[in-house]
């Protein structure tokens, strides 16, 4: 049993006027890969550090495997953390770096060798065991940092932006490798990133944070299709969901000629959300929202058309074929039925 629970956890840094983590309730199942995502400063690292025992909580309880660890020292929590900068010892070889924690724990030489060899094999590090960190590439160093965590066979892995020092191509490869490794080891993993693509592709579930408050925790597809509020809608998805404020008139939302039935009871102004792939070209002269194409991003299989509405609101439309309107063209866009999301214009809460 190695699930993790945060129960009503708040963290206020000394001298701060508001909590960096605000009444967090979150349960991570045994063997689950949970990603914490959100903009810079939303409290992701603070949550991870509190679980590691590096940051005291102001209120609430943290449990690992059902055991209250809130007051325990980091070394007594049976977790391993991989940091952004890897924190490798420069004068030690890869083997010594990976075995360091086991040596501290006074494991036998034979056991250390066996565990390090096994981890090195899983991480393709066997040829590098006698090298020093400076003789490795960024991706190899990252894997040594992972190896150091794996050899300890902890109850929980914590990773804080472990890919941020890698170039784009290596990030994609390492992302897949970490996800695969976690599934093989079946160790509970909490992974922090501000990159929503990383979050969506790696996690069993994704927890979205804003200003210290948990917004929504759900499987990636559920977050994408049913965001609980306009913040999550705008944060998850690349390019982001198009969000517009529009008036409700006689039960219909009218967005510059694009008309959709309003959710029951909606009055005044609502925020409507449409993903770029849920817009379609409408016939000129028919129904549909006017837009001018400002920029075309060709991605190969499809293209993103960055447009603006007559009142200057930006929007993105994904065209599936290469036969799409060109820069400068005046187009009309309509939304696919059932794909429009509605949010309260004041609170951002989902209406339907
Ligand atoms: N040691 C500290 N003392 C005071 N305030 C802090 C401290 N560490 C973090 N904070 C504040 O707490 C909030 C959350 O910080 P945290 O580092 O957890 O955010 P984050 O989501 O991990 O951000 P990033 O993605 O930029 O790393 C921020 O407003 C930050 O300024």
Report the complex ipTM: 0.97
Q: Write 311-320 long-range contacts (CB < 8 A, 24+).
A: 311/256, 313/244, 315/242, 315/244, 315/276, 315/279, 315/291, 316/239, 316/240, 316/242, 316/276, 317/276, 317/279, 317/291, 318/276, 318/277, 318/279, 319/281
Q: CB under 8 Å to 291, separation ≥6 — which residues?
A: 307, 308, 309, 315, 317, 330, 331, 332, 333
Indicate the top mutation candidate among 20, 47, 50, 193 to test ligand 1's pocket, ranked by most ligand atoms within 8 A of CB.
Answer: 20
> Domain with 20 in it: what CATH number?
3.40.50.300
The series of mean pLDDT values per 10 residues for the chain, 352 residues long, is 92 95 98 96 95 96 96 92 84 95 92 94 93 92 91 92 84 88 92 91 95 97 95 93 93 86 89 94 83 92 92 92 86 88 94 80
Indicate the top mutation candidate among 13, 159, 165 to test ligand 1's pocket, ranked by most ligand atoms within 8 A of CB.
Answer: 13
pLDDT at 303: 92
Domain assignment of residue 351, yes or no: no
Same domain, 175 and 101: yes
pLDDT at 168: 84
Query: Nearest residue CA, atom 31 of ligand 1?
Result: 41
Angle at 193 between CA 177 and CA 1, to 5 degrees: 70
Same domain, 247 and 224: no
Cα 252 to Cα 348: distance, rounded to the nearest angstrom:
19
Domain assignment of residue 26, yes or no: yes
Same domain, 257 and 198: no
Indicate the top mutation candidate among 43, 190, 207 to test ligand 1's pocket, ranked by most ligand atoms within 8 A of CB.
Answer: 43
> Domain with 291 in it: what CATH number?
2.40.50.140
Copy the structure tokens of residue 263.
């959710």
pLDDT at 2: 83
pLDDT at 1: 61
Same domain, 78 and 119: yes
pLDDT at 287: 81
Domain assignment of residue 306, yes or no: yes
Cα 315 to Cα 324: distance, rounded to the nearest angstrom:
16
Q: What total number of domains does the chain contain?
A: 2
Cα 123 to Cα 147: distance, rounded to the nearest angstrom:
7
| Total residues found in the chain within this entry | 352
The binding-site residues of ligand 1, defined as CB within 6 angstroms of any ligand atom, are: 13, 16, 20, 38, 40-46, 194
Please give the C-alpha separations between residue 194 and each of 35, 161, 197, 236, 350, in angstroms, as whole numbers.
10, 8, 9, 11, 23
How many H-runs (helices) and E-runs (strands) does the chain carry?
8, 20
Domain that holds residue 92: 4-234
Cα 59 to Cα 20: distance, rounded to the nearest angstrom:
12
Domain assignment of residue 197, yes or no: yes
Same domain, 64 and 10: yes
CB 287 within 8 A of CB 259: yes
Same domain, 198 and 140: yes
Centre of ligand 1 to C-alpha 68, Å, is: 25
Domain assignment of residue 68, yes or no: yes
Same domain, 56 and 197: yes
Same domain, 92 and 222: yes
Q: Final residue of a domain: which of 207, 234, 261? A: 234
Same domain, 302 and 179: no
Q: Final residue of a domain: which of 234, 268, 300? A: 234
Copy the structure tokens of residue 217.
């925790």
Domain assignment of residue 226, yes or no: yes
Indicate which atom in ligand 1 lies nearest the CA of residue 48.
18
Q: Final residue of a domain: which of 182, 214, 234? A: 234
């Amino acid at each position: 049993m190695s699930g993790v629970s945060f129960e009503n956890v708040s963290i206020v840094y000394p001298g701060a006027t508001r909590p960096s983590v605000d009444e967090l309730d979150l349960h991570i199942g045994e063997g689950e890969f949970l990603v914490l995502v959100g903009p810079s400063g939303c409290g992701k690292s603070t949550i991870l550090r509190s679980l590691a025992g590096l940051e005291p909580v102001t209120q609430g309880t943290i449990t690992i495997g059902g055991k209250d660890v809130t007051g325990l020292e980091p070394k007594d929590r049976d977790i391993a953390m991989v940091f952004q900068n890897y924190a490798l010892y420069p004068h030690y070889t890869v083997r010594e770096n990976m075995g360091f924690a086991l040596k501290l724990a006074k494991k036998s030489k034979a056991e250390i060798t066996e565990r390090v060899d096994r981890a090195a094999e899983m991480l393709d590090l066997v040829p590098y065991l006698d090298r020093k960190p400076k003789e490795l590439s960024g991706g190899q160093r990252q894997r040594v940092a992972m190896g150091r965590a794996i050899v300890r066979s902890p109850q929980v892995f914590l990773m804080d932006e472990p890919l941020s020092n890698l170039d784009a191509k290596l990030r994609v490869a390492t992302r897949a490798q970490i996800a695969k490794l976690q599934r093989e080891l079946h160790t509970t993993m909490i992974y922090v990133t501000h990159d929503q693509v990383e979050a969506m592709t790696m996690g069993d579930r994704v927890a979205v944070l804003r200003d210290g408050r948990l917004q929504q925790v759900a499987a990636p597809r559920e977050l994408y299709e049913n965001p609980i509020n306009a913040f999550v809608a705008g944060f998850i998805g690349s390019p982001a969901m198009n969000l517009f404020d529009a008036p409700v008139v006689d039960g219909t939302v009218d967005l510059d000629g694009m008309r959709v039935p309003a959710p029951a009871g909606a009055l005044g102004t609502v925020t409507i959300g449409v993903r770029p792939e849920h817009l379609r070209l409408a016939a000129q002269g028919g129904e549909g929202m006017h837009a001018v194409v400002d920029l075309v991003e060709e991605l190969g299989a499809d293209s993103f058309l960055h447009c603006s509405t007559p009142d200057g609101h930006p929007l993105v439309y994904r065209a599936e074929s290469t036969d799409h309107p060109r820069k400068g063209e005046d187009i009309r866009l309509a939304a696919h039925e059932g794909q429009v999301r509605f949010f309260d214009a004041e609170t951002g809460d989902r209406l339907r």
